[in-house]
Structure 1
Amino acid sequence: MTYVDGFVAAVPTADKARYIEHARDAAVVFKENGALKVVECWGDDVPEGKVTSFPMAVKCQPDETVIFSWLVWPSRQVRDEAMPRVMEDPRLQPDVNPMPFDGKRLIYGGFEVVVDE
């Protein structure tokens, strides 16, 4: 069964184009290393909650937008084998392709797919 990595972050709204470029560059690397699909979403209707919400989770500031993205892998094994190569790829090194957001506020995790209709 497929495996999914999910991500939520806050990106400076003014850096939307830079974020999309960074995401496209990263997508190439992920797909070269076995990812089946890379999806990047720019927040459009992401309400602030009273108890919890995407904006609260990433400490989104007024000049930032929440992004939600995921990678689909054939399996966790493929993902686990690919990630060291992805992280070492020169195209994703901070001096070449810096993340246009605060990585300390990035939320991520790996998920086993249990329903895929």
Structure 2
Amino acid sequence: MTDENAAAGRVWATPAGVNLGPLDLIRDGGARNYVLQIGEARFHGFVVRRGEAVFGYVDRCPHAGLPLAQQLDHYLTPDGGLIACSWHGAVFTVETGACVGGPCVGAKLAPWPVETREGRVFTA
């Protein structure tokens, strides 16, 4: 953790095996925000659900370093097809986090490894 991150109280990764709860807490085709206490700091991430598959990302836009959603759990475009930054309009693929439109085309969201096991979501 850099001095800047420590001062802000943020970390950018989590340990594997953290139980985030039932998969059903995330609407199929939707997204959910997670904030985890890691020592004295906090991790902010979100998970997008596509059926039984989950895709996790650090909640930080590569363009400006801000969280993507201005409203809790509002990470997707209205049709649910892409992840959207509500600040500057960047859009990212759900499967890879690659920016495909907006001010940071070619950049990627930082992945947050997650998986499902027995109907629950865990950090991987």
Normalised to the residue count of structure 2, the TM-score between the two structures is 0.27
Q: Which has the higher helix share?
A: 1
Q: Which has the higher strand share?
A: 2
